[in-house]
Structure 1
Amino acid sequence: MNLSTQLHQTAKRLGGKSAYYFMDKGTSYAELDAAVTKFASGLSQLGVKKGDHVALLLGNSPHFVIGLYGALRLGATVIPVNPIYTADEIGYILRNGDVKTVVGLDLMIPLAEKMHEQLPTVEHYITCESGQSDAANLDVSQLSVYPKLKPFTEVLGAGLLDFEGPQLSDDEVALILYTSGTTGKPKGAMLTHRNLYSNATDVSDYLKINEDDKVITTLPMFHVFCLTVALNAPLMNGATLLIVPRFSPGEIFEVSKKYDATVFAGVPTMYNFLLQYPEGNPEDMKSLRLCISGGAAMPVALLENFERKFNVAVSEGYGLSEASPVTCFNPLDRPRKAGSIGQSIVNVENKVVNELGEEVRPGEVGELAVKGPNVMKGYYKMPEETAATIKDGWLYTGDLARMDEDGYFYIVDRKKDLVIVGGYNVYPREVEEVLYAHPEVVEVAVLGVPDPNFGEAVRAFVVSKNPELTEDQLLEYCREHLAKYKVPSSIGFLEELPKNTTGKILRRSLKDQVLQTK
């Protein structure tokens, strides 16, 4: 079984039920499944074959859902790409990923014109209408890339409903997800049909996602958190997606109220924005049965304040692209522990190990390692990096963690973000938790910077709701709650913290700014 086959089975069982709403228009499972089949057929008529690589440069839209499942039904390998990446970033992924076909908004046509000679493997650019005048007024017939351009509607319209895709092996690569590349060039994590199907199944079982659910899908679909938790898992079980093109607190409240949403998945910064939104009305979210947090550690103060205001449980979990992505979630039927990423989901093992790969005792900090049917096949064209990351079947995550006596895991920090002050280990998250607990602090990022006396020093950046709050006041607050060596050497105030497209705070960007000003 794979995602495309499961969608077909769901459509046969619940054909008339809404698979998703987008811009207030509903689409049934039967309509979605037919579009997926026709798009797969249309790709086949263009010469796209099983095993070919198809890139999606799309935001949250029906085009993405149809493009993803259509390519999978054909047996192609899908490479989702952040559409707001720079030309250099996109070009690297398309070249490194040996992409043959690109599906994107018509806004990408000028970029395709500029780059297509540097991308000889790309044979087709399938364009989706954006409705924007810049694209509508472009005379594509005069462009050198014109022979490679195909409208999405044309590919879809040429497709046949009786198309039958090839037989697919569980071990064949379904998706290549490029990591953010904060420590170098992005690496393409190869996820098989088994990886994706097993994780979507196990996540939906764990979170009890069912056909009565209406899931707010506002996390970026090109990101693995959304792909599994807010797209694949719901569609496998006959739930309805409420597709929101981009995150906006006001729109989330509106969509939740209008459609009686039952599930919301987001990263901590989204919860922070919802909590701080002046017009946020708890009544608008009264239908929610579950909120899911991932992508980054959620500060305990934020979690507790959000739950208190909106009277809904937030289940924090953990995952990474290389694990399809989910490995842990806080359980729904047992006690939830604030600050924990929960316990291992079914079929997945987590353990905390030392430098020798030996499991450490409960309470001790080490590297989190993961094993299960969700662990990637490896990095595309990077055998050495694969061997360094997957050892004896265990995926070494690079995250520092600890496990308590009850089998609940806690992310202490990224291994590379650890700050060593005069020989003492300082975990940025611990300092951030303290600052988040201050009533006038909205957002925090803590990092290590070079220090001539202690090797490294702790530096904090905060966003405050009170313009009168001073650095001295916050430093004094830290001294009351932290050991001396953990107290920041300085605290800077910003109007907002730099974030990536999923809302994850970018410590690396802040660190680069600090180093450039020295």
Structure 2
Amino acid sequence: MMNTDQRPWLAQYPAGIPANVEVDSFPTLRALIADATKQHGNKAAFSCMGKDVTYNELDRLSTAFGAYLHYRGLQPGDRVAVMMPNMLQYPIALHGILKAGLVIVNTNPLYTPPEMKHQFTDSGAKAIIIAENFAANLQKIVGETDIHTVILTSIGGMLGWIKGGLTNFVVRNVKKMVPAYDLPNAVQFQTALDEGKKYKLPQFTGQPTDTIALQYTGGTTGVSKGAMLTNSNLVANALQSKAWMTQKLEAGSQERMLCPLPLYHIFAFTVNSVAIFAHGICNVLIVNPRDLSTIVKAFKDNRIAGMTGVNTLFNGLLNDKDFTKLDFRHLKITVGGGMAVQRAVAERWQKLTGVPLSEGYGLTETSPSASMNPLNDKLRIGSIGVPLPNTDMRVWNEDAHRVATSEERGEIQIKGPQVMKGYLNRPEDTAKVLQDGWLSTGDIGMMSEDGFFTIVDRKKDMILVSGFNVYPNEVEDVIAAHPKVLEVAAVGVPSERSGEVVKIYVVKKDASLTKEELITYARESLTGYKIPKEVEFRDDLPKSNVGKILRRELREA
């Protein structure tokens, strides 16, 4: 049996990476941001559609934005939702929220009104910064929430008068991407910045244990829950990730990191908007990663030294003829996460770019990074790498109630400073996954003798679509409400494109029910990636002796 005090993975660490970093060197995330700004003041911090914002500019703009939020009556601890794609407004809003002592509630812009309502009411959000593209959905539910401050922004809002105006004209009038809305009390983002400059932002002293982000997740069980991430969680994970990448990326250099993943997702939120920012490297933001031409252009226009992404994105780029013609001489690091990286994709990526595609692993509940493959020849394709500094991982044999021996399967558990405080207002759910500091992930895995971890199955029923959590209960609740449905079960099935897609098994109440009818119905309440892609009608569903539908049997079938 493996002694839990042993950390065989340390032998796999590249030279110069410590077993432990000083994760408590900054008491708050705001302090970490201030330190990075002091070091890299006039250097570009973020870039989007050809427009750069320096550390000093971001500091000034975010201070004004925080002052405006305070002026509108928001007090330390209040929750502020942010709902936008990757734009320069995002880091301004994030830093302003932190400076005002508030809590950010990252929200997927693709959410439907019911999904928005759940997140805003559960979190108790009192304000929202939202791209105008999604304002029509907000209009439908804002009256059923506690939101009293609405700040609207546009894709071209920070790009300058000429370029920004042209961008907004195309988005609004050519591509018709902004449905009509009526939010009479909403304030424009630029107006908030202009007003905020008139006010002084008080100094708010935060504590390491303060919750500063509510990141919603399906978790290991139940409906979408708000993982409470503290100052110490996010500072620790940023410093852990920064230490891991130091071997490849030169701090404060002119190199740039491509950020095609949305900043509202925990992966890019911590790795890009915090860790890479703290490292003094400019993040190049991609507004719409589905438009691969914008990624190709970013590579041509910038000295891209690193890139984060998910398997589906890497696979798409490998099959894009313009991308395959690019010059990758500056590329040093590629990190894949959010979903499993397929071996074929990793091998093709390295052959094309000359850079390994290093897979990492984590959960929203771990802020998110827990393990990472070495960024050198010790990389092991097919594994999720080794635990990051300050992090312990183990494989738990539940039947024997002990740590599993090497190569023995069990549930992966994680302990470290990046593990969340708990789920908001859900102590019972928190107690189910957090015991004695160990977080139960719900993923079944193995650890090799030399410390590499591999995921082999999923204990939980959660479905992972292109790195996004889909909990079957949510899909089933929607489908079950259809008047022609008697029973339904949702499972994840393999997809070459997105890792998994949602499949539903349905017992009809009315014989006239069709697949198309169900999918159209689901589209009214579910975000695109949650909508079933496969429908199978059955006369009955497998059940346990107490009548519980056995999803595992359906998956295996």
Superposition TM-score, scaled by structure 1 size: 0.78
SS in 2 for 1:111: helix
Q: In the alignment, is residue 151 of structure 1 matched against residue 184 of structure 2?
A: no
Say which of 125, 133, 150 aligns to 2:172.
133
Is the Cα contact below 8 Å between 1:14 and 1:238 reproduced in 2? yes
Q: In the alignment, is residue 64 of structure 1 matched against residue 90 of structure 2?
A: yes
Q: Which AA in structure 2 matches 1:179?
A: T
Q: Distance in 2 between matches of 1:408 and 1:242?
A: 32
Q: Distance in 1 between matches of 2:375 and 2:261?
A: 22
Compute the displacement of 1:106 (Å): 2.3
SS in 2 for 1:30: helix
Segments of 5+ residues of structure 2 without an aligned counterpart are 1-25, 156-167, 463-490, 498-527, 541-557
Q: Distance in 2 between matches of 1:32 and 1:517?
A: 59
Say which of 270, 273, 297 aligns to 1:254.
297
Q: Which AA in structure 2 matches 1:123?
A: H
Say which of 414, 426, 441 aligns to 1:397.
441
- Aligned residue number for residue 329 of structure 1: 372
Alignment of 1:347-366 (within 5 A): 347-355=390-398, 357-366=401-410
Q: Which deviates more, 237-246 or 130-139?
A: 130-139
1:459/1:298 Cα in 2 relative to 1: closer, same or farther (>3 Å)? Answer: closer
Give the % identical residues: 30
- Aligned residue number for residue 252 of structure 2: 211
- Aligned residue number for residue 414 of structure 2: 370
The number of equivalent residue pairs is 436
- Aligned residue number for residue 135 of structure 2: 109
Say which of 49, 58, 62 aligns to 1:23.
49
* RMSD of Structure 2 on Structure 1 (CA): 2.9
Q: Distance in 1 between matches of 2:303 and 2:201?
A: 37
Q: In the alignment, is residue 93 of structure 1 matched against residue 105 of structure 2?
A: no
Q: Distance in 2 between matches of 1:186 and 1:253?
A: 35
- Aligned residue number for residue 238 of structure 2: 200
Is the Cα contact below 8 Å between 1:257 and 1:285 reproduced in 2? no
Q: Distance in 2 between matches of 1:103 and 1:211?
A: 30
Compute the displacement of 1:288 (Å): 0.6
- Aligned residue number for residue 270 of structure 2: 228
Q: Distance in 2 between matches of 1:90 and 1:174?
A: 20
Q: Distance in 2 between matches of 1:243 and 1:393?
A: 35
Q: In the alignment, is residue 276 of structure 1 matched against residue 302 of structure 2?
A: no
Q: Distance in 2 between matches of 1:275 and 1:136?
A: 28
Q: In the alignment, is residue 122 of structure 1 matched against residue 147 of structure 2?
A: yes
SS in 1 for 2:82: strand
1:94/1:302 Cα in 2 relative to 1: closer, same or farther (>3 Å)? Answer: same
Q: Which AA in structure 1 matches 2:286?
A: V
Say which of 453, 459, 477 aligns to 1:409.
453
SS in 2 for 1:146: coil
Q: Distance in 2 between matches of 1:107 and 1:508?
A: 21
Q: Which AA in structure 2 matches 1:172?
A: D
Q: Distance in 1 between matches of 2:293 and 2:241?
A: 28
1:104/1:364 Cα in 2 relative to 1: closer, same or farther (>3 Å)? Answer: same
Is the Cα contact below 8 Å between 2:100 and 2:201 reproduced in 1? no
Q: Which deviates more, 53-62 or 301-310?
A: 301-310
Q: Distance in 2 between matches of 1:13 and 1:297?
A: 36
Q: Distance in 1 between matches of 2:213 and 2:356?
A: 32
Compute the displacement of 1:219 (Å): 0.1
Is the Cα contact below 8 Å between 1:60 and 1:221 reproduced in 2? yes
Q: Distance in 1 between matches of 2:135 and 2:461?
A: 39
Compute the displacement of 1:196 (Å): 0.6
Compute the displacement of 1:163 (Å): 2.6
Compute the displacement of 1:417 (Å): 5.6
Is the Cα contact below 8 Å between 1:7 and 1:33 reproduced in 2? no
- Aligned residue number for residue 536 of structure 2: 514
Q: Distance in 2 between matches of 1:515 and 1:348?
A: 45
Q: Which AA in structure 1 matches 2:436?
A: D
Is the Cα contact below 8 Å between 2:220 and 2:460 reproduced in 1? no
Q: Which deviates more, 44-53 or 182-191?
A: 182-191
Q: Distance in 1 between matches of 2:233 and 2:288?
A: 27
Compute the displacement of 1:508 (Å): 9.0
1:508/1:405 Cα in 2 relative to 1: closer, same or farther (>3 Å)? Answer: farther
Compute the displacement of 1:154 (Å): 1.5
Question: 1:44-90: CA deviations, max 9, x gaps?
Answer: 00011100000001110111111111101111111000011100001
Compute the displacement of 1:110 (Å): 2.9
Q: Which AA in structure 1 matches 2:239?
A: T
Q: Distance in 1 between matches of 2:153 and 2:531?
A: 34
Q: Which AA in structure 1 matches 2:187?
A: K
Compute the displacement of 1:4 (Å): 2.3
Q: Which deviates more, 161-170 or 25-34?
A: 161-170
Compute the displacement of 1:13 (Å): 2.2
Q: Which deviates more, 233-242 or 125-134?
A: 125-134
Superposition TM-score, scaled by structure 2 size: 0.73
Say which of 320, 344, 350 aligns to 1:301.
344
1:251/1:374 Cα in 2 relative to 1: closer, same or farther (>3 Å)? Answer: same
